[in-house]
Amino acid sequence: MSTKPLTDSPAWKALQSHHSEVAGLHLRELFAADPGRGDNLTAEACGIFLDYSKNRVTDKTLELLLRLAEERGLRERIDAMFRGDKINITENRAVLHTALRAPRGQKIVVDGEDVVPAVHEVLDKMASFADRIRSGQWLGHTGKKIRNVINIGIGGSDLGPVMAYEALKFYSDRALRFEFVSNVDSDDFAEAVHGLDPAETLFVISSKTFTTLETMTNAHTAREWVLRGLGGDESAIAKHFVAVSTNAEKVREFGIDTANMFGFWDWVGGRYSMDSAIGLSTMVAVGPANFRALLDGFREMDEHFRTAPFGQNLPVIMGLLAVWYGDFFDAQTVAVLPYEQYLKRFPAYLQQLTMESNGKSITLDGQHVDYNTGAIYWGEPGTNGQHSFYQLIHQGTHLIPCDFIGFAKTLNPIGRHHDILMANMFAQAEALAFGKTAEEVRAEGTREDLVPHRVFEGNRPSNTILAEVVDPKTLGKLVALYEHSVFTQGAIWNINPFDQWGVELGKVLAQRIIPELESREVPTLNHDSSTNALITRYRRMNQ
C-alpha cells in the first residue's frame, strides 16, 4: 500500500494531466468514435447491470483510475475489512457489516472470537419474534393482537428500516401497520400514534448506543403513551416494547427486559446496520424468509466486491467514477434517481451512507486533505424529479453526475405505466449525455432569439443501473453496491469512512442550550451575539 500522499501518487498525477486532455471531449464524440461503447463500457454481476458508457471517460481514463486503485492499496484494504482488521482506527474497531450476512459455518474472528455464530443466534431470535408478531401469537398487555409496529430510532437506526420497509412494502404483511419515528420534534411522534390503540401497538426502540437524545426522548414519550393508555401498569412495558441495541445495561435501565432485546456489535456502524437486528421492523414486515433473501443479496454483492477484478467490479467502477468527477471535474454533488416508487427513500438512505461516511477532511495519517472528498448525494424518484430539479441538471451551470436506477419489471403491472416510466429514464440519460445542438434547434424552426434558450449542451454524465425487479435480494445487492462504492472512495481518499465525529459538536451545544430554553429564570447567556439573541427571542415568543 502506498504511503505517499494521494496527490503525489503517479496515477493521480497522470489523471491530472489526462483530465486536461479529455475534459473538453463531448460524449457525442466519444460515442461516435466507438460504435460499441454502449456495450463495452458496461459491467454485470449478480443480476445487476451497470451501463457506465455515458461517463466522460476514455479507455485511458479507466486504465488510470484502475491503476490509482491498485496504487492506493484498495485490494489490501478490502481484504483487511473482510478479515475483521480494526480499520476504523479512530474508534479502534473492526468494520464487519459483511459478517452480518455471512453464512452459517463461515468463520470471522474479532478479538479471538468467531462472530458468525452470534450473528445467526440473533437472526434466529429475530425470526421467532417476527413470526410471533405476524401470526398474532404475541399479544399485548390486554390480550389484543399487535396491529401497529412503531420503530423509534434515528440515523442508521431509522433510515435503513424505513427505506427497506418502503422498498419492500409489496412483500409486507398488510394486516400490520408500520410507523417510523425519528425526529425529536413531537409532531413526528404525535402523528405516528394518531388514532392508534396502545393495546395493539408495539414499539421497537432501535439505538446502537441507547443514549441518543432524540431516540430516548421519543422512547420515554412512547412509554408514557402506552402506560397512560393501559392504565399505568408497568408490567405492560414487556408486551409493548422491545429494544435493538448494543447496550444491554441502558436497555435494562430504560425498563425493557433484556430477554426482549436484540443485540448487535460495535463492529457494525449505524449506517451499515440495516441488515443487523436494526432490521427487526423490516423482518416483522416482510417475514424471516424475505429478510434472509435480503441478506443473500448483500452477500452476493460482497463476494463480487471481494473477488472480482477491479475492471469488472461494480462498486469499484462506481467508486472510481465518483472520484473522477469529484476530484478532477470538481463536481460537488451526485444525484441518485430511482425510477421505482418503492425506492422513494433510497436517496435519503444513501445520504447518510455516503455523507456520514466520506464527509471527512482528515486523512488516516491525521493530515488535512488537499483534494475533494465525499460528494453531496441527493435525489428523488423518477419521474417526479423531472418536473422539479432536472432543469438545473440539463441546463444549469453545475456538473451533476447522475445514477439512474431502473427495473425491467414492475410489481404492479397496470396498463402502460412501466414502459412509460422506463422510457423516461432512458430518455433522460440520453438527453443529458447528447443534448441538442443549436443546429438541431434551428432545424425545428425555432425563432432565432429562442435558440440559445433551447439548446441542451449535453455532456452530462450518468450511470444506469438496471435490475430485474425490486425484491428483497435485489435490494440487498443494491445497498451493498453503494456500501462498497463508498468504501472504494474512502480508500482512494485515505480517510476513515467509519467514524462520525462531525456530529458531536452540535449535540454537545444542544445539551447546553436545552436548560437555557427551559429555565424559568432568565438565563445568563454566553454564546455569540447571534445565538444569544435567538435564544432570547425564542424565550419571549414561546411564552
Q: Using CB under 6 A as the criterion, which residues of the chain lie in contact with ligand F6P when the complex forms? A: 154-157, 207-209, 212, 215, 270-271, 356, 500, 503
Considering the complex, state which of residue 161 and residue 406 has its C-beta at the smaller distance from ligand F6P: 161
Is 4 an annotated catalytic residue?
no
29 catalytic? Reply is no
The set of cell numbers assigned to 300 is 452476493
Residue (201 or 246) nearer to ligand F6P, CB: 246
User: Of the listed 107, 387, 448, 504, which one is catalytic?
Assistant: 387
> Closest-CB residue for ligand F6P?
270
Residue partners of 429: CB distance under 8 A and separation at least 6: 54, 402, 404, 462, 464
Residue 255 CB, nearest distance to ligand F6P (Å)?
17
Question: Whose Cβ is closer to ligand F6P: residue 62's or residue 353's?
Answer: 353
Q: Answer for the pair 345, 478: CB distance below 8 angstroms, yes or no.
A: no
CA dist 467 and 463 (Å) reads: 13
Cα separation, 438 vs 431, whole angstroms = 14
86: three-class secondary structure by DSSP: coil
Nearest distance from C-beta of residue 161 to ligand F6P, angstroms: 11
For ligand F6P, the closer CB: 156 or 381: 156
Nearer to ligand F6P, 282 or 500 (CB): 500
**Closest approach of Cβ 496 to ligand F6P, in Å?**
13
CA torsion sign, 342 to 343 to 348 to 353? positive
**Distance in angstroms (rounded) separating the CA atoms of residues 459 and 376:** 20
Task: Compute the distance between CA of residue 150 and CA of residue 285 in angstroms, rounded to an integer.
Answer: 11
CB of residue 222 to ligand F6P, shortest distance in Å: 15
Q: Least distance to ligand F6P from the beta carbon of 89, Å?
A: 17
The nearer residue to ligand F6P, 240 or 271, going by C-beta atoms, is 271
- Residue 349 CA, distance from chain mean position: 3
Name every residue whose Cβ is closer than 8 Å to that of residue 15 and which is 6 or more positions away in sequence: 61, 64, 65, 68, 324, 328
Is residue 255 classed exposed, middle or buried when 0-12, 13-18 and 19+ CB atoms within 10 A define those classes? Answer: middle
In angstroms, what is the minimal distance from the CB of 223 to ligand F6P? 17
Q: How many whole angstroms separate alpha carbon 475 and alpha carbon 46? A: 12
Neighbours of 62 (CB within 10 A): 19
Q: How far is the CB of 403 from ligand F6P (least distance, A)?
A: 23
Helix (H) or strand (E) holding 301: helix 288-307
What are the strands of the beta sheet with 333-338, ordered from one edge? 42-45, 48-51, 462-467, 402-407, 333-338, 376-378
Q: Which among 56, 53, 66 has a CA at the least distance from the CA of 312?
A: 66
Of 275 and 356, nearer to ligand F6P (C-beta) is 356
| Residue 368: φ, ψ to 5° | -75, 135
User: Which one from 71, 300, 356, 483 is the annotated catalytic residue?
Assistant: 356
Whether 387 is a known active-site residue: answer yes
Residue 167 CB, nearest approach to ligand F6P (Å): 19
* Burial letters 418-452, b for 16+ CB under 10 A, else e: beebbebbeebbebbbbbeeeeebeeeeeeeeebe
Identify which of residues 184 and 534 has a Cβ nearer to ligand F6P in the complex. 184
Q: Which three cell numbers stand for residue 284?
A: 416483522
Catalytically active residues are 356, 387, 507
